[in-house]
């Protein structure tokens, strides 16, 4: 399963593709990047390798991207959008009835990306490259917290307070660390570790978010 959106990735592109063929070529480059980072790692990735894998001229790569960091940044942003789109769809489809169900779903989708999305278990949401890959001024996990927090506030009526963002930040850091640990223990993700991660996060957020929102 490859989670991919049809829209052009934003941010690191030198110019936006305006024709369907150009957009398809950019996505081929990102798909090639995802495959290569799993095989050779970020350090081994080169624009030459990427052009060969994507079946494009090296000039086409530089037409849209200044360097390999920008390509990885675009791939990471595409993955983030796909992750949030899938989570939003589960919420709007009525599959999730409470905010803690949405938290469970957020963890499940993150695990699914590790298992099924090429390049994701190598790059995650960019920390391997730069802790500010998603946003020059904020840590990658802070960006995730802001986006998740907005979903919870919009769809479940939680009060948008600094304490909520703080609690979500703690939960995201715990989840990120334990899920990475689970995939170091087992290529498919150690189920015992993943279950503990979900239990810890649910208990933590119930204890803190419920009490804060009730106060």
Q: Give the global pTM.
A: 0.87
Query: pLDDT (tens digit, 9 = 90+) per residue, 148-168?
Result: 999 999 999 999 999 999 999
| pLDDT value for 15 | 62
| pLDDT value for 1 | 43
In angstroms, the CA 156 to CA 70 distance is 35
| pLDDT value for 11 | 59
C-alpha atoms less than 13 angstroms from C-alpha of 47 in its C-beta half-sphere: 15
Residues whose CB falls within 8 Å of the CB of residue 140, separated by 6 or more in sequence, listed in order: 125, 126, 127, 131, 132, 133, 134
Residue 196 has pLDDT above 90, yes or no: yes
Q: Which architecture does CATH list for 95-214?
A: Orthogonal Bundle (1.10)
Query: pLDDT (tens digit, 9 = 90+) per residue, 71-112?
Result: 999 999 999 999 999 999 999 888 788 999 999 999 999 999
Number of other CB atoms surrounding residue 63 within 10 Å: 16
CA angle 182, 185, 187 (to 5 degrees): 85
End-to-end CA separation in angstroms for the chain: 43
In angstroms, the CA 87 to CA 96 distance is 10
Answer whether 82's CB lies under 8 Å from 75's CB: no
């Amino acid at each position: 399963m490859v989670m991919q959106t049809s829209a052009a990735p934003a941010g690191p592109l030198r110019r936006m593709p305006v024709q369907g063929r150009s957009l398809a070529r950019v996505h081929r480059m990102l798909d090639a990047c995802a495959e290569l980072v799993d095989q050779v790692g970020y350090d081994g990735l080169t624009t030459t390798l990427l052009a060969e894998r994507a079946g494009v001229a090296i000039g086409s790569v530089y037409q849209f991207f200044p360097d390999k960091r920008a390509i990885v940044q675009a791939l990471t942003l595409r993955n983030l959008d796909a992750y949030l789109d899938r989570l939003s769809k589960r919420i709007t489809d009525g599959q999730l009835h409470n905010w803690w169900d949405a938290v469970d779903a957020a963890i499940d989708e993150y695990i699914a990306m590790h298992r099924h999305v090429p390049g994701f278990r190598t790059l995650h949401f960019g920390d391997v490259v730069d802790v500010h890959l998603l946003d020059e001024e904020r840590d990658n996990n802070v960006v995730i917290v802001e986006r998740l927090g907005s979903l919870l506030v919009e769809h479940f009526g939680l009060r948008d307070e600094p304490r909520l963002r703080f609690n979500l930040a703690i939960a995201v850091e715990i989840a990120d660390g334990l899920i990475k640990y689970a995939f170091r223990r087992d290529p498919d993700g150690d189920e015992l570790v993943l279950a503990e991660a979900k239990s810890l996060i649910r208990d933590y957020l119930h204890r803190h978010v419920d009490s804060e929102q009730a106060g």
